[in-house]
Amino acid sequence: MLKYLFTLLFVFTLCRADLLFPEKGQELNYIHVLFDWDQEPNAILYNLQISNLESFNNIILDVHEETTLYIVKDTIEWESTYYWRVRPIYNNGNIGQWSEESYFTTGEPKTSGQDVDIYSNDLIQDGVIVYGWATGAIDRFGNEIWNTEYFLMNQINNYGQLYGQMGVEQGGELTHGGELNFYNQFLWMSPEGTEVDRHEIIQLPNGNYMAFTYVYQLGPVPLGDWTQNYQSLGYTADGVTDEFQWRGCKIIEWDQETREEVWSWDPFDHFSMDDHDLYGGTWWNATNSWSYDWMHSNGLHFDEDESVIYVSHRNLSRISKISYPSGEVIWNLGLPAEYNTGDENICTDLLFSFQHHIQMLDDGDLLFFDNGNLSHMLLGDPNPISRIRRIRVIDDSYCETVWQYDLPQNLYGKGMGSVQLLENGNYLINTMGQNEAGEGLGPSILEVTPEGDIVWKATVVGESVRWYRAYKIPSIHPNAFSVLFDQYYDMDVDGNSFTGVVLDDTNTTLSFTIHNQSSYSQSYTYTLSDNNGWFNVSSDTVNIEDNEHFIVTLEPMVEPDSVTSLTMDIWPIHHEYALKSINYNVYRVAGSLSSIETNNPTEYTLLHNYPNPFNPITTLRYDLPEVALVNITIYDTMGRQVKTLVNDSQTVGYNSIQWNATNTTGQPVSAGIYFYTIEARKFRQTKKMVLLK
């Protein structure tokens, strides 16, 4: 009987965790590296080591982690080879064997670098900046940390999903729209034979994809300074004769599964060809082309609550609100009638032109990049100016300006541009930084406070680089999560060794914890079943905030001294490629394991905090061999008390407490060196930690 023969083996040397990611021999296109490994029976902690030598004679990272996943951000370099291994630490203080070593390499950086100016480090939003035309990512110091080829990024959503234009295969021409992950895996691609515009690809709440494609219709060549040029090419060019190909931007929705077209919006059915640009040079540009770029639509935003689409049409200096799915145009935001882009536009006093990147914020405001190609004419200023516009449309009829930022003259951007409202209230702005003559600072990304102060700026090094859009995101690993089962042990029964989850009379429920380590708020779906019907089939979806965890408990219907085989699949619903499949035996034994688990600390110990350096949360671990009044206090380098984390009587055991880099009043503290001290009876010890921002 299991209940008479059950014992725990706290050091079972034959069972070693498998190293899952990076895969052995893999070449990485990033240097912020996610390490993932299997849960080890009996382990309460894991020791991860990384070396640039196969012999591990030179350890470049040595950390402890409570979960089975760790992201390294400041150690890995490009064009290098690294070796890594993991070993478990048990709650009696014993240390297990190292896993079999694995190794990986890193590829080449793709850019020549950026000039970065940091004006106020404390005011910068944490995160990394992802940019595209040539798509990559940099940290706040301008170091390239990720790159990809054959992909033009134009959007990243709140879950860390990447959308843009891509080639059919590596090295292919960028003709398809779709979704890519940060590991260069194509997750979805538009159907063959569809000419997808590069400016915007989005995914709708129903899972379908939406983008611009091209549609054509013959129209006249309007009268203007260009008339003679068109006549010399053989056109009548009288402003009436339909003889020249006009190109519009059609909006198409594709089914996520079948990739079939399920909805579309044709501009020729809703807009008049009488409305077109006369002053921005678009008709001059068309003399070198076989079609006239009538709209140059470059921004899509889908609002699920109101079921509308906001669309930016650059060459019409127009923003449209379109009802979905009827396609009815609710309003057009644009220029006064005398500029020939519509005589029923609303909010004509805004005087924006050739704008980019329309988006609706959570509070209903519209935010976009006003390139200002016509600003010299609209504003009476001899120098064109680009502006960031945050406006509120009232009653679908008039507008209020909520916030506006005028870019410096040397950052005027005649083409491209984007803006993102950050969590800390700052704005991340991307500008081409050049006028018609190619003069200006050049492609630049800057972070600006609501008061208009620049706190961070990066400028391209190299004339060939262009940035279409830029986003600041928490991490390039939005798929990062781990799952830990409670009561996961090695066992010895009748001289035979077993591994599995053990349920007893005290702990009758199956319990596991999902750790969201992605730095994004994510939802996770799990499905769980077993071959003996203890749990029937259990399935659920849970939402977990960034860097938080969720505990799942399930009550089995089973008598003691039984065993079943459990299978669970779990994945982030926005990153299905990150699915984890877990297979464990589950044992139900009579009695209680508490009488066996007598391994307690034998001495006071203060362990090093982890991670270290950290931002903004770190964990302090300490061991108590006896009941004691415990005080744990944080100090700065001047010896001033910052915060008391613990001041209470605690029982025997292995303990931990987190510090979130705040002081006694709950305010964030500055980056730098801090000390933490534990006092328990006659024991006193101090260690150092580093806070990065």
**Across 484-511, average pLDDT:** 84
| Distance between CA atoms of residues 620 and 82, nearest Å | 28
Give the tens place of pLDDT for each residue, 281-322: 999 999 888 899 999 999 999 999 999 999 999 999 999 999
Is the four-CA dihedral 191, 196, 202, 204 of positive or negative sign? negative
pLDDT band at 599 (very low <50, low <70, confident <90, very high): low
Fill in the amino acid letter for 657.
I
CA dihedral over 89, 90, 92, 95, signed as positive or negative: negative
pLDDT in tens, 180-230: 999 999 999 999 888 899 999 999 999 999 999 999 999 999 999 999 999
Q: Mean of the pLDDT values across residues 109-127?
A: 90
In the chain, % of residues over pLDDT 70:
93
Residue 503 structure tokens: 């349920």
Q: What is the pLDDT of residues 53-76, one digit of tens each?
A: 999 999 999 999 999 999 999 899
331: confidence class by pLDDT, cuts 50, 70, 90: very high
The pLDDT score that the predictor gives to residue 17 is 66
> What is the pLDDT, as a whole number, of residue 460?
81
Please determine, for residue 454, whether its predicted confidence score (pLDDT) is greater than 60. yes
pLDDT at 216: 97
Query: Does 612 score more than 80 pLDDT?
Result: yes
Per-residue model confidence (pLDDT) at position 14: 37
Asked if 388 and 370 touch (Cβ cutoff 8 Å), the reply is: yes
The per-residue pLDDT for 195 is 86
**What tens digit of pLDDT does each residue of 218-238 get?**
999 999 999 999 999 999 999
Could you report the per-residue pLDDT of 8-43, keeping only the tens digit for each?
Answer: 433 333 345 689 999 999 999 999 999 999 999 999
pLDDT of residue 27: 97
- On the question of pLDDT at 442 being above 50, the answer is yes
Considering the chain, what is the average pLDDT of its residues? Answer: 90
The radius of gyration computed from the CA coordinates of the chain, to the nearest angstrom, equals 30
Contact of 653 with 601, CB cutoff 8 Å = yes
**Cβ contact 373:401 at 8 Å:** no
Identity of residue 557: M
SS3 string, 218-231, reads EECCCCCCCHHHHH
Q: Identify the pLDDT of residue 171.
A: 47
Q: In whole angstroms, give the CA distance from residue 310 to residue 179.
A: 21
pLDDT at 678 over 60: yes
pLDDT band at 596 (very low <50, low <70, confident <90, very high): very low
pLDDT average, residue stretch 344-366: 96
State whether residue 488 is helix, strand or coil: strand
- The type of residue at 364 is G
